[in-house]
Structure 1
Amino acid sequence: MSLAWSPALAGSIASLLAGLATAVGALPILGIGRGAQRHQGTLLGFAAGIMLAASFFSLIIPALDHLQDAGAGRWHAASVATASVAAGAAIIMALGRLLPQDGIEPAPVAGRMSHRSVWLFVLAITLHNLPEGLAVGVSFAGGAYAQGSTTALGIGIQNIPEGFAVGCALGLRYPPGISFLGALLSGLVEPIAGTAGALLVAHFRPLLPWALCLAAGAMISVIMSQIVPELGREPAGRPQVGLILGLCLMMLLDVALS
């Protein structure tokens, strides 16, 4: 990056590029299309694995590191993480009650994940992209271009499988074009948060651990309330394979790029 760029501009552009990586990950859904419904168990298991790994390795552990680097003791850091994870889960549970139910069906239909479940899933991923964008913007503050670029690159690579997961979830109910667009939009919250983080770093840096753990709680809540029940209706084998593949892939990326 050119050193003539201000930290705010650099943070905005870097977080935009990281957010656009979700669209790269969602590209295969344009080819899979409606075929996603035939592989719901595998795809949902894969998405759950990605979300589970991201909750801990992308969100909770970095939040604890931020808190301890800022001088918080172990009990203080653990209390902040616990409270914000619980708050994130509570938000998703409340939204789940507020969102309208789908039309009543006589029995659960395989390959027909409900609209409500799909959108809660997308909401959780989108919510988790906000603190990631914030982290990119904050890392550029004070002209730390090398650190900011490394953070943006790591988050961008992690966003690729997340974009695929969002595209697959939407592909269970919507046409490929809408699924791809939804995945793209879920990543475009990152430059909004990245710009805010770069401009108002003094205000947002202390809030970053809370935001990270809040997003983690939201994703874990969605896994348990929306994805696990769907996987229980699938034949044994494929969902477990998908979950392990997603978890291992995301864990590898998170740990290697942290």
Structure 2
Amino acid sequence: MIEAIRTFNPIVQALLATLFTWGLTALGAAGVFLTKEINRRLLDAMLGFASGVMIAASFWSLLAPAIEMTESNGGTPWVPALIGFLAGGGFLYLVDRILPHLHLGLPIDEAEGIKTSWQRSILLVLAITLHNFPEGLAVGVAFGAAAAGVSEASLSAAVALAIGIGIQNFPEGLAVSAPLRREKMSRWRSFMIGQASGMVEPVAGVLGAAAVYFIRPLLPYALAFAAGAMIYVVIEELIPEAQLNKDTDLPTLGAMLGFAVMMMLDVALG
């Protein structure tokens, strides 16, 4: 499979990989055609799992290669990683403050960002889009780095990252669509909003791959930027949502499992 992927242009590779992650989001969202209920404990475990995957991916697939890359080029290893990581988190913080959005399970009067009269469904999609953008960016940057011939970033590692992100996108799709269905939204509309949450990933993936492929000195910063953005989402959104019911055991176990799965994929394939 890796050799078949290698025949494509790196931007096409990133597009195909993020279409895969989007597809698994849509597949998960399609579960709304089977049920309109999702057990809250199961949802908490799913959110914990997604957190673990994203934390592991941030280090194993992004920060570690950025540090190794800088060191091999004779630079100060921690500088690009630190700058990129904080820039990624800062960027998400600014977007979070500006972009109107609403997190799942909250009343519309608790929408964040600039105040607007937009419909609840639009605000929900924007919230999930904000969440998924760093994931698509991370996958795109990983493929761009591999194509640039950087020894610390392999195509196998980029594929492992895409698989890991895709695995955690599957339950996320259902986690978005099922609550909407429970709120009396039609099955089709619930599905469309659920799968739409992953549509930004191919866009972010192509942008990330193109940026680092054509501007190689950006690579360590771009890798760390994606890591910072993902960690921001985990701490600001996923973990708090997973622990809303004060039952922290399942989300914690889910996070441990997610971290272990992503670590295994990265080490085994990368």
**Cα distance 1:131–1:29, how it changes in 2: closer, same or farther (>3 A)?**
closer
**Structure 2 residue runs without a partner (length 5+):** 103-107, 111-120, 181-189
Among 154, 166, 176, which residue is 2:191 paired with? Answer: 176
**Structure 1 residue runs without a partner (length 5+):** 106-113
Give CA deviations for 1:56-101 in whole Å, capped at 9, x if unaligned. Answer: 11211111122122222xxx22122112211222222222222346
Aligned-pair distance for 1:122?
A: 4.0
Aligned-pair distance for 1:140?
A: 3.1
**Cα distance 1:243–1:135, how it changes in 2: closer, same or farther (>3 A)?**
closer
The runs of at least 4 consecutive aligned structure 1 residues that moved more than 6 Å come to 114-118
Aligned-pair distance for 1:138?
A: 4.5
**Cα distance 1:118–1:178, how it changes in 2: closer, same or farther (>3 A)?**
closer
Please tell me whether residue 61 in structure 1 is matched to residue 64 in structure 2: yes
Return the alpha-carbon distance in structure 1 between the equivalents of residues 36 and 195 of structure 2: 12
Tell me the TM-score normalized by structure 2: 0.72
- Structure 2 counterpart of 1:156: 162
Stretch moving more, 52-61 or 14-23: 14-23
**Cα distance 1:166–1:225, how it changes in 2: closer, same or farther (>3 A)?**
same
Return the alpha-carbon distance in structure 1 between the equivalents of residues 53 and 66 of structure 2: 18
Return the alpha-carbon distance in structure 1 between the equivalents of residues 124 and 61 of structure 2: 23
Matches within 5 A, 1:5-154: 10-26=9-25, 27-32=27-32, 34-36=36-38, 38=40, 39-72=42-75, 76-100=76-100, 102=102, 103-104=108-109, 119-120=126-127, 122-141=129-148, 150=156, 152-154=158-160
- Structure 2 counterpart of 1:246: 258
Aligned-pair distance for 1:166?
A: 4.4
The answer to whether the 8 A contact 2:138-2:227 is kept is no
Return the alpha-carbon distance in structure 2 between the equivalents of residues 193 and 218 of structure 1: 13
Aligned-pair distance for 1:24?
A: 4.0
Paired amino acid for 1:153: V
Q: What's the Cα RMSD here?
A: 3.4
Return the alpha-carbon distance in structure 2 between the equivalents of residues 101 and 154 of structure 1: 31
Return the alpha-carbon distance in structure 2 between the equivalents of residues 101 and 20 of structure 1: 24
Tell me the TM-score normalized by structure 1: 0.75
Identity of aligned residues (%): 31
Aligned-pair distance for 1:227?
A: 2.4
